[in-house]
Amino acid sequence: MSFKQKKLALLLLAPLLVSLTAMTLVTQEAETDASTAGLTYLEPEIKHARTAEEILSKLQRRHYEKRPFNDHISSLLLDTYLDNLDPNKSYFTAADVAQFEQYRFALDDGMRRGNLKPSFIMFNRYRDIAIDHLERIIGDLPNDVAALNFSRDETIELDSETLKWATNDEERDERVRKSLKNSVLSLRLSDKDDEAILEALEKRYKNQLNRLKQLNAEDVFQVYMNSLVGLYDPHSNYMSPRTSENFSINMSLSLEGIGAVLSSDGEYTVVERLVKGGPAELQGDLKPKDRITGVAQGNEGEVEDVVGWRLDEVVQLIRGKKNTTVKLEVQNKDSANQFESKYIKIVRNKVKLEEQAAQKEVLDIHHDGALKKIGVVQVPTFYHDYEAAMRGEKNVRSTTRDVRLLLSELDEEGVDGIVIDLRGNGGGYLEEARTLTGLFVERGPVVQIRMSNGKIKSEANYPNPEHYDKPIVVLIDRLSASASEIFAGAIQDYRRGLIIGSQSFGKGTVQQVTSLNHGALKLTEAKYYRVSGDSTQHRGVIPDIALPSLYDASEIGEDTLDHALNWDQVPPLRHRRYGDFAPITEQIKQKHEVRIKDDPDYRYLIEQIKLNDKYNAMSALPLNLEVRQAMIEQDESERESIENELRIAKGLPPLDKENKDGDKTAANGESQSDGSTSPIATQENASTVTNQEDADEEDNDARTDFLLTEAANILLDAITLSNSPSLPLQDRVAANALAKPPAKNIPASTATH
């Protein structure tokens, strides 16, 4: 080797030697901290190194997007892993993170060689800092709580993603103080006294401390691998042997639960969506984006605080035997007091097929001076009883079979058209989406599937000359996903019906679970595309006629998820177009705008959305007790006001406001003990309700499904305009998908629900 080559070699080795020296120092420091705390210093095992190599190989060979595993991914992995360890930036400081910068462009090279030590070094450091802080908080808790000043004007940031790492220990400690203050304030506003507050917080912190001390090498490996896999897309993930076993149990539906899909958001467990027909959905109180902060067993069981717990641990606590009760402590973000807890009791059960089955009803709609009948087919999910099919049973329950029967029954009831209600339908069996489309489209392709190797295959329907040919519209919302989007997209592409509602979720990817030597890997291996060539991924289905939604599109949807795959296109497929709604769409929108202008249900929905948006837009919460209390009272007052506006507009009495002594007062604050009419109640029968059970019953009368009713009205507008003599003949022919008149001489029937 020449002198120049030796010099070059030394220059190339110098950064590596510095890096190895720094790594050794960090390792020694972490080992010392662990030893001092009486903990075992966690290190990767051989099985972890081999599994990491296996995961990396499958990611590069089988994932839909062939992203190179390079320095860019390594840099993202470092940031993501640190965020996953310390999501609220409560423990690491900028100085701690700076020590880990040596790994930024080395994690990719290390993983190829099965070197996972950097991930364990960072975890051990995190664990030691967190344990030290929690022990200090627990020891000083009574004094720290007593020292809090709730008349001081200060705020706490709500979005940890916008926070940077604390520049020093003092700034980090200030964040911890504000977090403690917010917890105490929230508990006070929930009517807990100081003793109960101290007890609740001490238990929470001790639980977090115990969990930290119990974490093992398997836990570290799972967090690190999911930090990597999640960089490829949000639906791919690594499952440890324990998690993989739970996943298999879930897929076989052999374990009872509440029927909710949960995810992690920082230190909170969050409800992603409810399974249609599941115990939680039927109970009615749990909502998407609710935070689960505590779980109790039975009606009177003690609530166990689960803030900071791993997702699989929370899921394990919520599960249980059929017909047993689980009590959830829940917080809702759509209010001024988003840290206020409420308790929801749910009886565990299996998700029953009959509860998920398609259902029908008939709406009597007064439209243009005439009474019309519109059939509604609610499709909660795309299901098929394959177990019954394997047993050789006839007439196996499935979405397509059940909807076919419902359409026949609705025809006998003389409906003018059909609303297919897919709101809240998160998907299910792809085959059912294909065959359901075949009930309304005579023949042709339904969906295209592009594999990771670039090959595209299409799923089509067989000829169905007896397809349903009455006018239809499809109602969707932000929770309509996957198979729902395939069906709605096909109906829109074939121009078989109008799509009404809000933009759908945008979940257009396909996952496969593959076993590993240690655990399992769920990978995104394909994407769905419509017959038009547009992907349903990321963008979802855009409705022809938009309706307002209570679901915040900035909080729910594929485009809100980190590293979601992009929208794109493939070549379109030849397919029939049953009509062209362009000539009448603008007139439909105009009629819709005129109709909703003075509609009390529409105003009620819009005011609800405004209030929710107001609090969702808040980036910080006040920590001043009086200011916070005033916010809550204003929120309650505003919500009560819009509720009473709806009731009064419908000729119903306003709700009472219960004061602290339990006495009832009218909505305007004046005593109504004599049962006289409230001054704000202008309708003749709008006297004040003095019995809460009566009020609850009348709530059901006051609140109607505005979105469903308006979808029915839009369908009738489309039918009328399609047949209008004022519409040019060529446009009437173009809009023939909605032009076919209803069958004649069918006896009318009363509304069926």
Q: pLDDT confidence of 693, banded at 50, 70, 90? A: very low
Whole-number pLDDT of residue 33: 55
pLDDT of residue 322: 87
Residues 125-145: b if buried by 16+ CB within 10 A, e if exposed: bbbbbbbebbeebeeebeebb
- Helix, strand, or coil here: 207? helix
Angle, alpha carbons 497-503-509 (nearest 5°): 95
Determine the pLDDT at residue 266: 73
Residue spans per domain, the chain? 16-229, 254-347, 357-581, 626-700
Query: pLDDT per residue over 76-107, tens digit each?
Result: 999 999 999 999 899 999 999 999 999 999 99
- Grouping H, G, I as helix, E, B as strand and the rest as coil, residue 327 is strand
Q: What is the mean pLDDT of residues 201-229?
A: 93
Mean pLDDT of the 716-728 span:
78
* Predicted pLDDT of residue 700: 53
The arithmetic mean of pLDDT across residues 256-261, rounded, is 81
Distance CA 170, CA 591 (A): 61
CATH 3.90.226.10 for the 357-581 domain, yes or no: yes
Q: How confident is the model at residue 350 (pLDDT cuts 50, 70, 90)?
A: confident
Q: Which two tokens stand for residue 311?
A: 């997702």
What 8-state DSSP symbol labels residue 414?
A: T
pLDDT at 662: 39
- What is the structure's pLDDT at 140? 95
Phi, psi of 291 (to 5 degrees): -100, 130
Torsion sign, CA atoms 532, 534, 535, 539: negative
CA distance 641 to 608: 11
pLDDT band at 74 (very low <50, low <70, confident <90, very high): very high
Torsion angle, alpha carbons of 208, 212, 214, 218, to 10: 130
* Range with the poorest average pLDDT among 348-352, 522-526, 574-578: 348-352
Question: How far apart (Å, rounded) are the C-alpha atoms in residues 504 and 497?
Answer: 16
Per-residue model confidence (pLDDT) at position 16: 33
Q: Rounded mean pLDDT of the chain?
A: 83
pLDDT at 39: 79
pLDDT (0 to 100) of residue 221: 97
Which residues participate in catalysis according to the annotation?
482, 493, 507
What's the pLDDT band for 472 if we cut at 50, 70, 90? Answer: very high
CATH fold for domain 254-347: Pdz3 Domain (2.30.42)
pLDDT tens profile 150-191: 999 999 998 888 899 999 999 999 999 999 999 999 889 888
Whether the predicted pLDDT of 251 surpasses 70: no
The model's pTM: 0.83
> 486 versus 245: which is more confidently predicted?
486
